[in-house]
Amino acid sequence: MSARRHAGTAYVVTPEGGSGPGVLVLHAWWGLTPFFRGVADRLADAGFVALAPDLFAGETAATPDEAEALQARSSPNETAALVLSAASALHGLPATTGAGIGVVGFSMGGSWALWSATRAPDLVAAVSTFYGATDLDPEPGRAAVQAHFAELDELVTDDEKVTLEAELRLLGRDVEVHHYAGTGHWFFEADHEAAFDPGAAEQAWARTTAFLHRHLDPPPDADADADGDEDGP
């Protein structure tokens, strides 16, 4: 059973083994709802230390209009500071292993996830964004990037999707982009039944955990090296 606790304005989850690579979870404009805390729980079950900061100080929204108003009331500068402080706090937890962390973000949180890689290039090693893009220059970042995009998305344009992938590839970044046929924005979120696509969500989750393990887990020979088991002369 994973250990769960609230830490200030964040929800923190550790895996059954007690330690693992760190993954920051950045919620969509609905706020830190039970669904996004559940994402952190699932990451812990997959072997990661997950931290989900509450970017809206306890407020949540149930409808797009409420969520849009909630996002409009938030301060971008305060959100930016919270994202970076949460990333640093996660990396500094005794349970967190590895030199870098991963960031998984959804919609608004996906944009902040991509932003975090440009502002903390020495800390953020991998980003998985769900239907979130950004027009910021990605050059300062070094993280591997995975993107999950809906086919029918009124909030993310085809130009934004193409530009994000093209810019990252021109920089020689490790990039993988997945498009989910017939889906719309929020297709991953089970608490939004009108948009939720169980098949696409399951496929996206498997891809996400595999991507995070690939970029955050220690090399296979790391334990042997640490134990001094290398072949001698």
Cα end-to-end distance, the chain, whole Å: 44
Asked whether the predicted pLDDT for residue 137 surpasses 50, the reply is yes
Q: What is the pTM of this model?
A: 0.90
The share of the chain scoring above pLDDT 70, in percent, equals: 91
Local confidence band at 233 (pLDDT 50, 70, 90 cut-offs): very low
Local confidence band at 232 (pLDDT 50, 70, 90 cut-offs): very low
Which phi and psi (to 5°) does residue 185 adopt?
-55, 140
Asked whether the predicted pLDDT for residue 231 surpasses 70, the reply is no
Provide the pairing of β-strand 10-14 with 49-53. Answer: antiparallel
> What is the tens place of the pLDDT at every residue in 2-59?
444 433 489 999 999 999 999 999 999 999 999 999 999 999 999 999 999 999 999 9
Average pLDDT, the chain: 91
Predicted local confidence at residue 152, as pLDDT: 95
Q: Which CATH class is domain 3-226?
A: alpha beta
Mean local confidence (pLDDT), 94-99: 96
Handedness of CA 99, 163, 128, 88 (dihedral sign): positive
Q: Are 174 and 88 in contact (CB under 8 A)?
A: no
> What is the tens place of the pLDDT at every residue in 206-221?
999 999 999 999 888 7
Predicted local confidence at residue 170, as pLDDT: 93
> What is the tens place of the pLDDT at every residue in 158-196?
999 999 999 999 999 999 999 999 999 999 999 999 999
Asked whether the predicted pLDDT for residue 225 surpasses 60, the reply is no
